[in-house]
Structure 1
């Protein structure tokens, strides 16, 4: 059997910051082929700069809906740009930073809930078994305490969707303190090594829902 793999999300899904073929999507695909011992055909629908609101909207398009319906393996990387956008939008007034971040987190959670609901609905009508993998967030602003708390709260929320065929790949602790070795020159995106870490965490969740 040939497995279809649909990757949706932001610049982590596109592999920004790594050489072609070294983002987590192609690396994870190769790992999946090795474990499943069959061909895995990828459809990478990642968009640089995508937020949860943007992904929610894109999931209403025929292209996305069809790619999700046909996939036996799905990965979702989203949420990081919600934090980055909120952090960049704040002014210099004390207290504003925390308020803006909290509002962004609540919106992010609501959108993520809608995204997961849409994915579940799209897969409900298909008889083919599938696995859905959520890529957790690392902190792009490790020196900012409020950002650390934001990322931890989002990760806890997203991990709550774990089930028999839905898995959460936690990467926070792998990146914390290791940013110099795992991030690209922009200090925001992973480098090739960082993407291998993400792919490895996805692979370690196994493929039980497909067998």
Structure 2
């Protein structure tokens, strides 16, 4: 076995924004996976700060290198959806009355895009002979003080967790972050810090490695 290819797809959580190089969940999870699978793992990090489900869906359809990196991957992680929420909340400008319709619309779009993203993964993987795993990083709530945001995140997580299968696993981190934001988030209050990223990596690792081992 010549080792595995790990393609990390997603937003600033995938890039590891808010912590030191090597401390984001991607490098930490990769090291855990190497230990568990007893082989070398080559990472391809396709994370883009600020990426929304919309932007990712477009990249997966149009960007050849993106498509190739997903098609050839043995391990895929996906972190997406947080920016959809953040944009909708910012657009509402903190006027709670405006929040619900905007957030509902954003959630509908987000789910639709997410379903397209997962569909594209499956399409790219169709007919590939070797086993692979997909791991979805669940959302925590970056706005714990806003009830509607908590609802939004919980609904998104329920939807994303619905994709769980023999191949696909959902890493739930909501409960770990809820009430522990000060310990697990970077000073911007939005992104995880090193400890927060480690929580995410631990959750991914605890889902096991499916047919890869």
1:30-82, Cα deviation, whole Å (9 max, x unpaired): 00000000000000000000000000001021011000011000000000000
* Aligned partner of residue 13 in structure 2, secondary structure: helix
Number of the residue aligned with 1:173: 175
Alignment RMSD, CA only?
Answer: 0.9
Match in the other structure for 2:190: 188
User: 1: distance between equivalents of 2:27 and 2:95?
Assistant: 43
Q: 1:94, CA displacement in angstroms?
A: 5.1
SS of equivalent residue, structure 2 residue 83: helix
Give the distance between the partners of 1:160 and 1:145, measured in 2 at CA.
Answer: 23
Aligned twin of 1:98: 100
Aligned to 2:144: 142
1:175-211 deviation line (CA, Å, top 9, x unaligned): 0000000000100000000000000000000002213
Secondary structure in 2 matching 1:76? strand
Could you tell me which runs of 5 or more consecutive residues in structure 2 were left unpaired when the two chains were aligned.
none
Q: What are the equivalent positions in structure 2 for 1:112-151 lying under 5 Å apart?
A: 112-151=114-153
Aligned match of 1:28: 29
Q: What is the CA–CA distance in structure 1 between the aligned matches of 2:204 and 2:126, rounded to whole Å?
A: 23
1:204 match: 206
Q: TM-score, normalised by structure 1?
A: 0.98
Residue number in structure 2 paired with 1:40: 41
How many pairs align?
A: 211
Matched position secondary structure for 1:126: coil
Q: Secondary structure at the match of 1:13?
A: helix
Alpha-carbon deviation of 1:125? 2.2
CA distance in 2, matches of 1:107, 1:208: 31
Change (3 A) 1:92 1:133: closer
Counterpart of 1:95 in 2: which secondary structure?
helix
List structure 1 segments (4+ residues) > 2 angstroms apart after TM superposition: 91-95
Could you say which residue in structure 1 is the equivalent of 2:59?
58
Superposition deviation, residue 146 in structure 1: 0.2
Structure 1: unaligned runs, 5 residues or longer: none
Where 1:43 maps in the other structure, the secondary structure is strand
Change (3 A) 1:103 1:200: same
TM-score normalized by structure 2? 0.97
Mapped to 1, the partners of 2:55 and 2:143 lie a distance apart of: 22
